[in-house]
Amino acid sequence: MSIAEAGEFGLIARVVAKLENYPTTLLGPGDDSAIVAAPDKRVVASTDVLVEGRHFRRDWSSGADVGHRAAAANLADIAAMGATPTALLVGLCAPADLELAWAEELAGGLADEAALVGASVVGGDTSASPTLTVAVTALGDLGGRKPVLRSGAEPGDVVALAGRIGHAAAGYTVLSRGFRTPKALVEAYRRPSVPYAAGPAAADAGATAMIDVSDGLLQDLGHIAAASVVGVDIRTDAFEVSDQMRDAAAALGVDPYQWILGGGDDHALAATFPPGTTLPDGWREIGKVHEGTGLTVDGRAWSGPAGWDHFK
């Protein structure tokens, strides 16, 4: 059955049936607006759009995969402020002949990823469109924490990373060359594994700046460097290149550090901490902040691709 056959309200009913409410949901789908708890009296909010052919392909990813990834991209933005996610809102634009089952899988993936952090899908909107598009907004609560911005890094700070990096980019390259394995890399592209708890933990540990690595580590650390008016140097020996990644890189003729330093989509978190900070669980040092500007790798300019421009 297509979503046109189900009708707008049929689609919404089937999608809502996939959702579960969490304590932060004071009013879920079905009214003009949702109502979400904001105990901190400040709400953290972020929006991301995913466009078919640009951010996902239906022959590479299932509806559930796209749901997981769309949710992860937004939930990671909340975590990167030092907040815990509370809710998602979803706008789905879809061709009228989209299979209802795909839309239901999408909703299931969104809900399952949100459930990892105790959040739920509280509302949304649907429209017909020639281009399958998923627009997600995530909300979060700071729980009394000071938000960690991009602009607070200081010379002498330690640069640290939480979560895996380069795996999603490697999976993307594998898929784009027509392969389906290694499965670990392909799965990393399909469903990021985001260290959500590392965001609030970093805030509690005194992180001076933080960012979600969505476009590529160097590009995203470049945003911290620019906003903080500092220089950042990354050490390549801080990254372990897994055997799978090394083998795939060799087979595909790619430098694995292009995936690690320039690849997006893993939604690792990168942060800076004052020197001497005991890094919280899940964080590892990858470089240093110094006076100056810009990004260097092992003290030198990086010649490879630094990340994405979404209109290039």
Q: Which amino acid is at 34?
A: A
Minimal distance, residue 244 CB to its own copies, in Å: 29
By DSSP bridging, strand 158-162 and strand 120-128 are: unpaired
- Sequence length of the chain is 312
C-beta of 4 vs 252, nearer to its own copies:
4
Which of 20, 45, 47, 25 is CA-nearest to residue 35? 25
Select the span of 1-9, 107-115, 236-244, 286-294 touching its own copies (CB under 8 A): 1-9
Select the span of 130-138, 188-196, 243-251, 285-293 touching its own copies (CB under 8 A): 130-138
What phi and psi values does residue 277 have, to the nearest 5 degrees?
-65, 135
Q: Which of residues 176-205 bind its own copies (CB under 8 A)?
A: none
Minimal distance, residue 248 CB to its own copies, in Å: 27
C-beta of 232 vs 248, nearer to its own copies:
232
Measured in whole angstroms, the distance separating CA 2 from the mean position of its chain's CA atoms is 30
Question: Which residues make up each annotated binding site for Mg(2+)?
Answer: 32, 46-48, 77, 125, 212, 215
Angle in degrees, 0-180, between the axes of helices 183-190 and 243-252, rounded to the nearest 10: 90
Minimal distance, residue 54 CB to its own copies, in Å: 6
Q: Which of residues 24-63 bind its own copies (CB under 8 A)?
A: 26-27, 30-51, 53-55
Q: Which of 20, 125, 281, 298 binds its own copies (CB under 8 A)?
A: 125
215, 222 in Cβ contact below 8 A?
no
Q: Does 16 bind its own copies (CB under 8 A)?
A: no
Question: Which residues make up each annotated binding site for substrate?
Answer: 55, 265, 308
User: Can the peptide bond before residue 182 be classed as cis, meaning omega within 30 degrees of 0?
Assistant: yes
Burial (Cβ within 10 Å: 0-12, 13-18, ≥19) of residue 310:
exposed
Select the span of 112-120, 121-129, 172-180, 298-306 touching its own copies (CB under 8 A): 121-129
Q: Which of residues 202-231 bind its own copies (CB under 8 A)?
A: 210-212, 227
Q: Which of residues 228-287 bind its own copies (CB under 8 A)?
A: none
Report the distance separating Cα 43 and Cα 85, nearest Å: 10
Query: Which tokens in the block code for residue 101?
Result: 């089952």
C-beta of 81 vs 107, nearer to its own copies:
81
Measured in whole angstroms, the distance separating CA 99 from the mean position of its chain's CA atoms is 26
Q: Which of 7, 118, 143, 275 binds its own copies (CB under 8 A)?
A: 7
Q: Does 106 bind its own copies (CB under 8 A)?
A: no
Q: Which of residues 144-163 bind its own copies (CB under 8 A)?
A: 147, 149-151
Report the distance separating Cα 274 and Cα 295, nearest Å: 19
